[in-house]
Amino acid sequence: MNFENTPAFARQLDEKDPLWLFRQLFLIPQHQGKDAVYLCGNSLGLQPKSSAQHIAGQLKVWQDYAVEGWFEPEQPWLTYHQQLKAPLARIVGALPQEVTVMNSLTVNLHLLMVSFYQPTKKRYKILMEAGAFPSDQYAVESQVRYHGFAPDDAIIEIHPRAGESTLHTEDITDAINRNSDVLALVLFSGINYYTGQFFDLKAIAHAGHQAGAYVGFDLAHAAGNVPLNLHDWGVDFATWCSYKYMNSGPGGISGIFVHEKHFHDAELNRFAGWWGYHNDTRFRMTPGFKPEFGAEGWQVSTSPILLMAAHKAALDIFEQAGSIPALRQKSLLLTAYLEFLIQEINAQQGDDLFRIITPHNQQGRGCQLSVICKHNGKKIFDHLVSRGVIGDWREPDVIRLSPVPLYNSFTDVFEAAQALAEAVK
């Protein structure tokens, strides 16, 4: 598409947008009496207008039924999570029995590593990207220490090539192949939080399995953002949060994926809890853990109903929008337009004032563009905030801007670029 740097062109794109009406389903922060330009869905998605209704509905069940809310309502709490599985499965490319909702992301990462990081004296190393989100680094470090290994020895980090910001798929797979004799686990982000790079998860999963290792993914920045096909890729496990692109509230409930090929593997360790016990016999309260079939067998604690109610409100919107394919089409156009406008600023100034470190190849990114500011980065970011453009700042010099297809418009993107251009002046 031949883009134009005009407000009329942005409005024209909005008028042709088949997802335009979905913006009206969200509560948008206000700035000086009008909608802010909210480009921070990579950190916290906007609140669906229906969230309050869903949560209030469950508060009413609590009011009317008290403890019998677990059994008596039309949608009893005991099985509330079941209605979330099919929408989630469509978002991450899984079978419904391969997903469930539980806990928070890092808790789930630890629980899944109990099963899928089983080091031996020979195979004990974990391969991950350098610069993964710190919580992943801390989780991995603590896991290898727990098993008696030194992080400096047991963790293999893949760095970008000299002078580059992102990774090449062949460098990742080559590193897996070189370490095939010692790898126990390949653990990667779906999208790197800092650069916005969308990794080739299919290729990574294939290489990891060829090397004899388990393969898992942290999909915090990928779930609800980019197309995923975890089942067909043969991924062993994955986990994600729901409060970024899935708009399920700050600290919203996490989810997990476990491939069905592991459901009957009695050799896998797991930390057990009553909520993961076989549903048909759970209330017999007998000793000896018998897991429920599927990913639900990894559940530990009682479901937080109010968090799941907020999650359901958001997932209902995904279902209305046609899940990921329609969203992806608009997302690619939004980021391409933002990239064009940023390059226009550079051209007008005759200098690369803003360098986008997110891959130029659209298939290698999601909603997010990470922009390095050549000069005065924090002052430029503060100017954006003063203009009602909400992105986020990452030290030392990166502004992350993420136009989300469910609620952002092409006019949002144009106005954000206008604020950037003003900041340069």
DSSP letters along 368-418, please?
-EEEEESS-HHHHHHHHHHTTEE-EEETTTEEEEB--TTT--HHHHHHHHH
Phi and psi of 420, rounded to 5°?
A: -60, -45
Are 351 and 241 within one domain? Answer: no
> How many Cβ atoms are within 10 Å of 82's Cβ, its own excluded?
14
Positions of E strands within 91-182: 99-101, 125-129, 155-158
At 191 the three-state DSSP class reads strand
Model confidence over 273-332: pLDDT tens digits? 999 999 999 999 999 999 999 999 999 999 999 999 999 999 999 999 987 999 999 999
Distance between CA atoms of 358 and 396, rounded to whole angstroms? 16
Are 237 and 181 within one domain? Answer: yes
Identify the pLDDT of residue 239: 98
Are 145 and 267 within one domain? Answer: yes
The model's pTM: 0.96
Beta carbons within 8 Å of 189's beta carbon, 6+ residues apart: 129, 132, 133, 136, 199, 217, 218, 219, 220, 221, 222
Side-chain-facing half-sphere of 301: CA atoms under 13 Å: 10
Identify the pLDDT of residue 109: 98
CA max distance for the chain = 74
> Could you list the residue range(s) of the whole structural domain that residue 362 is in?
7-35+323-424
> The tokens of 129 are what?
């990207």
Identify the pLDDT of residue 266: 81
Is 47 within a domain?
no
How far, in whole angstroms, is CA 271 from its chain's centroid? Answer: 24
Amino acid at position 78, single letter? L
Pairing label, strands 30-31, 34-35: antiparallel
Q: How would you label 158-180 residue by residue, b for 16+ Cβ within 10 Å and e otherwise?
A: bebeeeebbbeeeebbebbeebe
> The tokens of 88 are what?
């989630």
Are 334 and 379 within one domain? Answer: yes
Is 412 within a domain?
yes
| pLDDT tens for each residue of the chain, 425 residues long | 899 999 999 999 999 999 999 999 999 999 999 999 999 999 999 999 999 999 999 999 999 999 999 999 999 999 999 999 999 999 999 999 999 999 999 999 999 999 999 999 999 999 999 999 999 999 999 999 999 999 999 999 999 999 999 999 999 999 999 999 999 999 999 999 999 999 999 999 999 999 999 999 999 999 999 999 999 999 999 999 999 999 999 999 999 999 999 999 988 999 999 999 999 999 999 999 999 999 999 999 999 999 999 999 999 999 999 879 999 999 999 999 999 999 999 999 988 999 999 999 999 999 999 999 999 999 999 999 999 999 999 999 999 999 999 999 999 999 999 999 999 88
Phi and psi of 328, rounded to 5°?
A: -65, -40
Beta-ladder partners of 127: 156, 186
Domain C-terminal end among 302, 320, 338: 320
Are 269 and 349 within one domain? Answer: no
Are 311 and 333 within one domain? Answer: no
Count of domains observed in the chain = 2
* Sole residue written with tokens 């933002």: 338
Are 296 and 165 within one domain? Answer: yes
Identify the pLDDT of residue 323: 75
Query: Which is nearest to 173 in space by CA: 215, 207, 130?
Result: 207
Are 223 and 94 within one domain? Answer: yes
How far, in whole angstroms, is CA 425 from its chain's centroid? Answer: 35
> The tokens of 203 are what?
């290729």
Are 339 and 258 within one domain? Answer: no
Domain C-terminal end among 320, 337, 362: 320
Are 160 and 192 within one domain? Answer: yes
93 DSSP 8-state letter:
T
> The tokens of 253 are what?
């409930």
Are 122 and 15 within one domain? Answer: no
DSSP-derived secondary structure for 204-254: HHHHHHHTT-EEEEE-TTTTTTS---HHHHT--EEEE-SSSTT---TT---
Distance between CA atoms of 425 and 423, rounded to whole angstroms? 5
Identify the pLDDT of residue 425: 84
How far, in whole angstroms, is CA 386 from its chain's centroid? Answer: 28
Give the CATH number, domain containing residue 293: 3.40.640.10
Identify the pLDDT of residue 313: 98
How far, in whole angstroms, is CA 305 from its chain's centroid? Answer: 21
